[in-house]
């Protein structure tokens, strides 16, 4: 039944209600992660239409019934459970995947497989850098990731920014542009974006990204703040022309305000997502009222984190005519979305500033809050116990002294075995929001539970007792996927090799599964031929 629904043309949301770390071990291709413990925080963004057909997935019935009950309380009216969960899907002979952001990463691998995206390996790039070759390394990850680590000399130019900023970053058409990310996907999609747009420069993706750089025995930079420059008017005009050409080739539909208003009026019967694809700082400085922030590169790679409904309508917006068009040119190739670009600068649009407001569904708000200083006193007197429910990786970096960690979705099952009735139970999360939602749910079980106001961030900011490490983590890595970079140095190399091998085999899995609707477009750009020729010359010379 689910297999036939996936092949249908009607809207459908497949939600994996296990924690991300568990789902990453065995999952369905088109599922979005919506852990039952965090369901109220993510569902309105993933599936905004309350009568969307939803199929819930777990492993074998351990979480889906509870999630179905919560969704009913939140107002969702068409909810089903996959019989047998992932285990049943596997037993029926269908393909089971692993990992995170699988549709986007598989898409990137399919792009390289079919189009032969130009590439360069780490050692060759290092030789060219040492020889003073005319090149620039553009890091296609968001700025916070770039600051964590980067290829030496690399400049941050995330995803959709590439066509927008590349001509300014490499004004000479002779400059080789190398695009990198942490692994493979964003390097491939970033380099191929430049190829598809027909940029005059030779282009290459860094094979294996910063993982291959480290595996080659090379060092990374950390804490850098270099960002590709914004284009001037002439450069922007050229970039806009390239983006328009790519969008037209991909069949992207551009709409005006009248059409947008019609789509908005139909949102109760046909799901509509409206995304501002500029970077988060630009979004916060001013954006169309009610629109969500989704930087273009992340939207393509992590589509399943932003869009939970297959066959939904998606409208993209920017302020330059480049980033939305390039992002749309990729989304249409995924094959399961109805994609539009808003091409209307009507000055009467309402604008707002600040971060994206999030809609949170919750049970009746009965949260008992406790201030950080009150909790500190209670802990010192032995009258309180703290459970951190947010992120095991954040818990490893720093947490309230004496706290234990439990994945949010596991709290309901574990609470009776870990709760000490003689001490007040206090939940904490990064900002306190998740802790408050879960505290409300535990009050249904007559628990004396409070949530830390301001969460762990507030506690740490006040300089109250903290510690670090994994001691006290009761659910290990169930709550989130640990990338190879999160492992100890003696393990990370092996994890990187395994991760890169996993990405490479995704094409083979797609060919076996035949459920993906990916439709790769060959733009036939001259940039590809120029890039391949230039790279061949450089390899011979090095």
Is the CB of residue 59 less than 8 Å from the CB of residue 81? no
Helix or strand (DSSP H, E) at 297: helix 296-301
Q: Is the pLDDT of residue 60 over 90?
A: no
Burial annotation 429-441 (CB, 10 A radius, 16+ → b, else e)? bbbbbbbbbbbbb
Residue 158: Cβ within 10 Å count: 27
| Dihedral sign, Cα of residue 198, residue 297, residue 155, residue 485 | negative
> Do residues 275 and 293 both lie within one domain?
yes
Q: Is the pLDDT of residue 514 over 90?
A: no
Domain that holds residue 172: 106-243
Is the CB of residue 67 less than 8 Å from the CB of residue 39? yes
Give domain status of residue 511, yes or no. Answer: no
Is the CB of residue 300 less than 8 Å from the CB of residue 159? yes
Strands 309-310, 12-16: pairing is antiparallel
pLDDT at 525: 67
pLDDT band at 149 (very low <50, low <70, confident <90, very high): very high
pLDDT, tens digit (0-9, with 9 covering 90-100), for 242-267: 999 999 999 999 999 999 999 999 99
Q: At what angle do helices 161-169 and 233-250 cross, to 10 degrees?
A: 140
> Do residues 313 and 387 both lie within one domain?
no
Least confident span in 12-26, 194-208, 341-355, 427-441: 341-355
pLDDT at 362: 81
Q: Is the pLDDT of residue 526 over 80?
A: no
Q: Which of 226, 243, 260 is the last residue of a domain?
A: 243
> Do residues 236 and 273 both lie within one domain?
no
pLDDT band at 536 (very low <50, low <70, confident <90, very high): confident
pLDDT at 528: 81
- Domain total of the chain: 4
| Dihedral sign, Cα of residue 229, residue 135, residue 117, residue 521 | positive
> Do residues 27 and 67 both lie within one domain?
yes
Is the CB of residue 181 less than 8 Å from the CB of residue 187? yes
Region 464-488: mean pLDDT is: 96
- Phi/psi zone of residue 463: left (φ > 0), alpha (ψ -120 to 50 degrees), beta? left
pLDDT at 535: 84
pLDDT, tens digit (0-9, with 9 covering 90-100), for 72-121: 999 999 999 999 999 999 999 999 999 999 999 999 999 999 999 999 99
**Euclidean distance between CA atoms 57 and 86, whole angstroms:** 7
CATH number at residue 64: 3.40.250.10
Give domain status of residue 364, yes or no. Answer: no
Residues 6+ apart with CB under 8 A from 422: none
What backbone torsions phi and psi does residue 464 show, to the nearest 5 degrees? Answer: -75, 165
pLDDT at 524: 75
Mean pLDDT of the chain: 95
> Do residues 81 and 133 both lie within one domain?
no
Residues 6+ apart with CB under 8 A from 541: none
Q: Is the pLDDT of residue 417 over 80?
A: yes
Q: Which of 71, 100, 129 is the last residue of a domain?
A: 100
Beta bridge partners of 452: 370
> Do residues 308 and 191 both lie within one domain?
no
Give domain status of residue 536, yes or no. Answer: no
> Do residues 314 and 401 both lie within one domain?
no
Is the CB of residue 229 less than 8 Å from the CB of residue 155? no
Burial annotation 13-43 (CB, 10 A radius, 16+ → b, else e)? bbbbbbbbbbbbebbbbbbbbbbbbbbbbbb
pLDDT, tens digit (0-9, with 9 covering 90-100), for 343-379: 987 788 999 999 998 899 987 778 899 999 999 999 9
């Amino acid at each position: 039944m689910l297999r036939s629904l996936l092949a249908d043309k009607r809207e459908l949301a497949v939600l994996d209600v296990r924690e991300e770390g568990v789902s990453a071990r065995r999952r369905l291709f088109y599922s979005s992660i919506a852990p039952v413990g965090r369901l109220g925080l993510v569902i309105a963004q993933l599936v905004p239409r309350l009568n969307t057909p939803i199929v819930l997935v777990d492993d074998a019935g351990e979480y889906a019934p509870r999630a179905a009950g919560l969704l009913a309380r939140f107002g969702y009216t068409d909810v089903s459970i996959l019989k047998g969960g992932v285990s049943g899907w596997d037993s029926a002979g269908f393909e089971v995947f692993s990992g995170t952001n699988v549709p986007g990463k598989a898409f990137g691998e399919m792009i390289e497989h079919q189009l032969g995206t130009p590439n360069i390996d780490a050692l060759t790039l290092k030789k060219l850098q040492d020889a003073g070759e005319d090149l620039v390394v553009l890091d296609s990850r968001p700025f916070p990731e770039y600051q964590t680590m980067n290829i030496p000399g690399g400049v941050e130019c995330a995803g959709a920014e590439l066509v927008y900023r590349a001509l300014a970053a490499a004004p000479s058409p002779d400059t080789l542009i190398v695009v990198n990310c942490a692994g493979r996907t964003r390097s491939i999609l970033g380099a191929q974006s430049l190829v598809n747009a027909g940029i005059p420069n030779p282009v290459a993706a860094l094979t294996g990204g910063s993982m291959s750089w480290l595996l080659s025995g090379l060092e990374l930079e950390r804490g850098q703040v270099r960002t590709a420059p914004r284009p001037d008017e002439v450069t922007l005009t050229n970039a806009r022309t390239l983006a328009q050409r790519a969008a037209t080739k991909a069949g992207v539909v551009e709409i005006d305000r009248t059409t947008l208003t019609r789509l908005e009026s139909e949102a109760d019967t046909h799901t509509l997502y409206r995304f501002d694809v500029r970077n988060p700082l630009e979004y916060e400085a001013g954006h169309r009222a009610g629109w969500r922030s989704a930087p273009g590169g992340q939207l393509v790679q992590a589509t399943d984190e932003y869009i939970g409904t297959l066959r939904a309508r998606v409208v993209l917006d920017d302020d330059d005519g480049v980033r939305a068009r390039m992002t749309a040119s990729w989304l249409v190739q995924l094959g399961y979305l109805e994609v539009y670009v808003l091409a209307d600068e009507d000055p009467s649009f309402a604008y707002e500033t600040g971060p994206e407001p999030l809609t949170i569904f919750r049970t009746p708000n009965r949260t008992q809050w406790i201030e950080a200083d009150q909790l500190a006193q209670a802990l010192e007197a032995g009258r309180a116990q703290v459970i951190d429910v947010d992120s095991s990786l954040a818990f490893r970096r720093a947490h309230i002294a004496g706290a234990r960690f439990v994945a949010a979705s596991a709290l309901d099952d574990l609470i009776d075995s870990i709760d000490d009735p003689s001490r007040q139970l206090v939940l904490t999360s990064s900002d306190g929001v998740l802790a408050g939602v879960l505290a409300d749910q535990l009050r249904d079980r007559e628990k004396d539970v409070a949530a830390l106001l301001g969460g762990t961030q507030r506690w740490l900011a006040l300089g109250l007792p903290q510690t670090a490490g994994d001691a006290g983590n009761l659910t290990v890595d169930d709550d989130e996927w640990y990338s190879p970079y999160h492992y100890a140095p003696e393990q990370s190399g092996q994890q990187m090799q395994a991760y890169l091998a996993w990405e490479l085999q995704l094409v083979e899995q797609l060919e076996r599964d035949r459920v993906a609707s990916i439709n790769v477009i060959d733009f036939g750009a001259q940039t590809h031929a120029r890039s391949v020729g230039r790279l061949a010359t450089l390899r011979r010379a090095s």
